[in-house]
Amino acid sequence: MSSGVQSTASDALQQIQRIQTITIGWMILEAGGSLWAAWRAKSPALLAFGGDSAIELLSATVVLWRFRHNASDENTERRAARLAGVLLFILTVYVVVASAATLLGYSEPRSSLLGIIVLIAAAVIMPWLAQQKRRLSAVTGSAALRADAAESMLCAYLSLTALAGLAAHQLFGIAWADPAAALAVTPLIAWEARQAFVGKACC
Q: What is the pLDDT of residues 103-133, one digit of tens each?
A: 887 766 667 788 889 999 999 999 999 999 9
Return the SS3 of 169: helix
Domains of the chain: 3-197 (1.20.1510.10)
- Name the range with the highest mean pLDDT among 56-65, 117-126, 168-177, 189-198: 117-126
pTM for this structure?
0.75
Residue 5: per-residue pLDDT: 52
- pLDDT grade for 203, boundaries at 50, 70 and 90: very low
Question: Can you give the pLDDT at residue 125?
Answer: 95
Q: Are 34 and 51 in contact (CB under 8 A)?
A: no
Residues 84/127, Cβ–Cβ less than 8 Å: no
Can you tell me the distance from the alpha carbon of 152 to that of 53, in angstroms, rounded to the nearest whole number? 9
Smallest CA-to-CA distance from 60 within 36, 37, 34, 29 is with 29
Q: What is the mean pLDDT of the chain?
A: 80
Mean pLDDT of 78-104: 79
